[in-house]
Amino acid sequence: MARVLVVDDEAKLGRLVAEALEGVGHKVWRAEGGRAALVELAARPFDVVVTDLKMPEVDGLQVLAEARKTPGKPEVVMVTAHGSTESAVAAMRLGAADYLLKPFAMEEIRLRVSRLAGARESESVRHDLVERLTPGLVAASGAMKKTLEEALRVAPTDTSVLLTGESGTGKSQLARYIHFNSARAAGQLAEVHCAALTETLLESELFGHVKGAFTGATATSEGHLKRADGGTLFLDEIGEVTASTQVKLLRFLQEREFSPVGSAQPQKVNVRVVTATNRDLAASVKAGRYREDFYYRLAVFTIAVPPLRERPEDIAALAERFLNDRGLPKDKLADKARERLLSLPWPGNVRQLLNALERALILAGEGQIGAELFEAQDAPSDRPAASALIGPGFNLDGFERDLIYAALDRAGGNKTNAAKLLGITRRRLYSRLESIQREEKDEEPA
């Protein structure tokens, strides 16, 4: 229940309102007059303030102004006599959440306060949920504040959103942020990592399939589009989908209609689509590697998530959030360690920073996290120049083949791990292996 402050210079009315609210479980404090209310507001946080408008010395508008300055920013219900509705409306323009005309039934005040308290509780639960699901979404920098402002602007709409940026910048967390700040927050957020699935599996995951649609389809399965009906579909690494899948998704984006794999029966759903990529899709369109019509359907509203090196102010804020989420004090991280964090380039962005903090916390144990626990990380610009790799007898195809086989050898033949070592998708590795094997077969003597 809510923490409520009842303010009225008429002691009897204030006592009756307090008793009515306590009767439904609220915890109530009373202040006889505006000056006493200011003392109470400075002493403790409140969820709701019920205050009379006309009071000597300090009136309800002054109580409202002070309440809106306090950290908890309680909702304010203004109470006024008949004939003063213009003042009550003016109070609402200044930030009051509601007003009541005297005389009023106690049931009415109970309903008004409970409604406001319930809305605050729901907002608090939603905020806590978003905080837990987006540990890397911190905006101390101007660049990241602008990014979140854009996300909040588009969140209430059903517009398709394309999130762009380097790997590890927090695009998937921004997608969750958009979903939970939209009217679809109560619906499902279905997340699909396009690069992790083959074309057939991706289409099955998205559209579902009927029994017997392909080998292994022993039962009918509902896809993510159906599950996300009324909610949001987030497609990560959308730049990896094949031309065939682009066509099928384009049809859905145009008509909000799709057919499960192996079925000719169309289905309609109400789904908002958010996508993300670390590729330059506009450049891929110009190069003819990506469908232009599909790209423009995705990029109705584009948000670029800046890399961590362009927002160094967020590094310290992310470290503090990391410690706070684990119930640790700020001084767990030594001052020299903070300086060290700011000096590193973080080519892997927020993901790399959080992983480094996790590792350092484990190594530090009960002690303080020192600067020596953070290893140097090479920035992208520190990679060897291409000219250093090229010499007599160099052959690009042969170099690629040797590199792929070396990765497979190190991964013990596991193609998924080999793809990770190479920094490519498993599907791309399979494609390159097939090309290499065809080339080797062509090179065999007849």
Integer CA distances (angstroms), 154 to 74, 140, 150, 233, 401, in order: 27, 21, 6, 15, 45
Q: What percent of the chain has pLDDT over 70?
A: 89
Domain with CATH 3.40.50.2300 in the chain: 3-127
Q: Does domain 308-378 have CATH number 3.40.980.10?
A: no
From 86, 28, 31, select the one nearest 57 (Cα to Cα).
31
Strand 257-258 to 267-268 pairing: antiparallel
- Six-digit token pair at 283? 């450049």
Domain with CATH 1.10.10.60 in the chain: 386-443
Q: Domain 142-304 class?
A: alpha beta
- Local confidence band at 333 (pLDDT 50, 70, 90 cut-offs): very high
pLDDT score for 264: 83
- Could you report the per-residue pLDDT of 228-257, keeping only the tens digit for each? 999 999 999 999 999 999 999 999 999 889
Please tell me the CATH code under which domain 386-443 is placed: 1.10.10.60
For the beta sheet containing 301-304, the strands, ordered from the edge strand earlier in sequence to the opposite edge, are 189-193, 232-236, 272-277, 161-164, 301-304
The yes-or-no verdict on residue 103 having pLDDT over 80 is: yes
Rounded to an integer, the average pLDDT of 85-93 is 73
User: SS in 3 state form for the chain?
Assistant: CCEEEEECCCHHHHHHHHHHHHCCCCEEEEECCHHHHHHHHHHCCCCEEEEECCCCCCCHHHHHHHHHHCCCCCEEEEEEECCCHHHHHHHHHCCCCEEEEECCCHHHHHHHHHHHHHHHHHHHHHHHHHHHHCCCCCCCCHHHHHHHHHHHHHCCCCCCEEEECCCCCCHHHHHHHHHHCCCCCCCCEEEEEHHHCCHHHHHHHHHCECCCCCCCCCCCECCHHHHCCCCEEEEECHHHCCHHHHHHHHHHHHHCEECCECCCCCEECCCEEEEEECCCHHHHHHCCCCCHHHHHHHCCEEEECCCHHHCCHHHHHHHHHHHHHCCCCHHHECHHHHHHHHHCCCCCHHHHHHHHHHHHHHHHCCCCECHHHCCCCCCHHHCCCHHHCCCCCCCHHHHHHHHHHHHHHHCCCCHHHHHHHHCCCHHHHHHHHHHHHHHHHHHCCC
- Could you report the per-residue pLDDT of 42-78, keeping only the tens digit for each? 888 899 999 999 899 999 999 999 998 887 789 999 9
Domain with CATH 1.10.8.60 in the chain: 308-378
pLDDT score for 377: 53
Q: Is pLDDT larger for residue 313 or for residue 433?
A: 313
- Could you report the per-residue pLDDT of 125-180, keeping only the tens digit for each? 666 667 777 877 888 999 999 999 999 899 999 999 999 999 999 999 999 999 98
Residues 43 and 14 sit within 8 Å (Cβ to Cβ)? no
The yes-or-no verdict on residue 2 having pLDDT over 50 is: yes
Euclidean distance between CA atoms 113 and 75, whole angstroms: 9
- Local confidence band at 220 (pLDDT 50, 70, 90 cut-offs): confident
- Local confidence band at 35 (pLDDT 50, 70, 90 cut-offs): very high
- Could you report the per-residue pLDDT of 261-295, keeping only the tens digit for each? 888 888 999 999 999 999 999 999 998 889 999 99
pLDDT score for 141: 93
Integer CA distances (angstroms), 32 to 20, 108, 269, 419, in order: 17, 21, 56, 71
Domain with CATH 3.40.50.300 in the chain: 142-304
pLDDT score for 385: 44
Q: Does domain 3-127 have CATH number 3.90.79.10?
A: no
Euclidean distance between CA atoms 268 and 257, whole angstroms: 5
pLDDT score for 325: 86
- Could you report the per-residue pLDDT of 373-417, keeping only the tens digit for each? 997 654 444 344 444 455 555 567 667 777 887 787 777 677 887
Burial code (b: 16+ CB inside 10 Å, e: under 16) for 125-159 equals eeeeebeeebebbbbbbebbeebbebbeebbeeee
CA dihedral (374, 380, 384, 385) in degrees, to 10, reads -160
